[in-house]
Chain A
Amino acid sequence: MTIKKWLFLIGLLCILSSCGNESALEPSNKANEKLDLTHISTKNNDTSQHPANQAKDALSKYKEITEVKAVNTTKQLIIAVQVEQNKRFNLTSIRKQLQKEMKKKFPDHKVELTTDKKIVIELKKLEEKLQSESISKKKVEKRVKEIIKLSKEQT
């Protein structure tokens, strides 16, 4: 009985430790085709979403990312990603890795990267508004500020 118990414990430890040691995401050469990469094109130059579109392209080389939404103002860039379910064990390290990469890629912007579902939903709504040109620059800035504040909220 005790041997069985020990074997069980060792097996459990193996399973748990194998979850932790896996390295974070590896970029692949091909772009992820399943990903919905709607590039937002605005005629108005004030609300240009060029950096956000660039960020989406850069993130599309990770095949573990299932959804990516991004919006930028002149100073800030907020990106929200969704990661494949079984990769969520390493969510923290994935977030850190992507955050670092994006910060390096956009030194002119204050970059925020989050994996929160709520932020994905909020950014989706904002992207739709930007696409239909029904929102002014000031309002976008205000909204982005609100979303960043929401993403930093702690319990």
Chain B
Amino acid sequence: MADKKKKNLPPEAQNYQAFQEEREVKRPVLLNCIKAFLVGGFICFIGQLISTFYIYYFHFTEQTAGNPTTATLIFITMLLTGFGIYDRIGQFAGAGSAVPVTGFGNAVISSAIEYKTEGFILGVGSNMLKLAGPVIVYGVFSAFLVALVKTLLIKWGVI
């Protein structure tokens, strides 16, 4: 698609694009992946610790310990976002800090902080889920699709 668009451009613009592509600083994709992997893994490690803590000291099984663990992680993210630490983690790790549930918490809480000046109803209330809303919508939608595929596969006797 990009090549098609290029053909319609005047020659100077094409020259400029080639010139610019040559000099552009390349994104360190591999390094970013490694950073995201390590930080994301570390967040999950903390989650595992919290989950194990709930299993040992409270009345939760491996099945049911997931809910309080998520809540605790989001609570920790709330504090970190409020103190401005999570922004830096996000800048360093990228997707590593956005994909775990902490990223979802950060998206909700940071927009709540951002829109506080516009009042509690029309500001915080209506904008809090601005970024997290799509997460819920497409999360539910993709879960529906996966469940559909699984149901069909089971019906056909594949799994």
The residue in chain B whose Cβ has the minimal distance to the Cβ of A114 is: B61
Tell which of A61-69, A115-123, A129-137 binds the partner.
Answer: A115-123
Assign chain A's interface to a size class.
10 to 19
Sample of 7 further A-B pairs with CB below 8 A, known A117-B52, A118-B61? A117-B55, A119-B61, A121-B55, A121-B56, A153-B61, A153-B63, A155-B63
A-B pair number, CB within 8 angstroms: 27
Asked if B20 is at the interface of the complex by the 8 Å CB criterion, the answer is no
Q: Is B67 within 8 A of A155, CB to CB?
A: yes
Whether, in the assembled complex, B62 has its beta carbon less than 8 Å from a beta carbon of chain A, the answer is yes
A85 interface residue per 8 A CB criterion: no
Residues of chain B within 8 A of A119, CB atoms compared: 61
Q: Would you give the shortest CB distance from A9 to chain B, in whole angstroms? A: 16
Least CB distance from A115 to B in Å reads 8
Classify chain B: how many residues form its interface, as a range.
10 to 19
Is there an interface contact between A150 and B59, defined as CB atoms closer than 8 Å?
yes
Residues B62 and A154 in contact, CB atoms below 8 Å apart: no
The answer on a CB contact under 8 Å between A116 and B56 is no
Are A155 and B56 also in contact (CB < 8 A) when A116-B61, A118-B61 are?
Answer: no
* Contact among B52, B55, B59, B66 for A155, CB-based, below 8 A: B66
- For A150, the chain B residues whose CB sits under 8 A away are 59, 61
Cβ–Cβ contact A153 & B62, under 8 A:
no
Q: Which residues of A contact B14 (CB under 8 A)?
A: none
Give bound CA distance, A100 to B60, whole Å: 26
Set of chain B residues within 8 Å of A155, measured between Cβ atoms: 63-64, 66-67
CA–CA, A94 and B55, complex, Å: 22
Partner of A118 from the list B62, B66, B67 (CB cut-off 8 Å) is B62
A151: chain B residues within 8 A (beta carbon): 61
A14–B24 alpha-carbon span in the complex (Å): 36
Q: Can you list, as one digit per residue, whether each of A91-132 has a CB less than 8 Å from chain B (1) or not (0)?
A: 000000000000000000000000011110100000000000
Pairs across A and B, CB under 8 Å, 11 listed: A116-B62, A117-B55, A117-B61, A117-B62, A118-B60, A121-B56, A150-B59, A150-B61, A153-B63, A154-B64, A155-B66
Query: A121 → chain B, closest Cβ, in Å?
Result: 7
> Could you say which residues of chain B place their CB within 8 Å of the CB of A118?
55, 60-62, 65
User: Taking the nearest CB of chain A, how far is it from the CB of B63, in angstroms?
Assistant: 6
**A154 contact set on B, CB distance < 8 A:** 63-64
Shortest CB distance B89–A (Å): 27
Q: How far is the CA of A154 from the CA of B60 in the complex (A)?
A: 10
Chain A to chain B: the 6 pairs with minimum beta-carbon distance, closest first: A118-B61, A116-B62, A116-B61, A118-B55, A153-B64, A155-B64
Q: Which residues of B contact A117 (CB under 8 A)?
A: 52, 55, 61-62
List residues 30-77 of chain B with CB under 8 A from any CB of chain A.
52, 55-56, 59-67
CA A62 to CA B55, docked complex, whole Å: 26
Residues on A with C-beta less than 8 A from B59 are: 150
Neighbouring B residues of A153 by C-beta, 8 Å: 61, 63-64
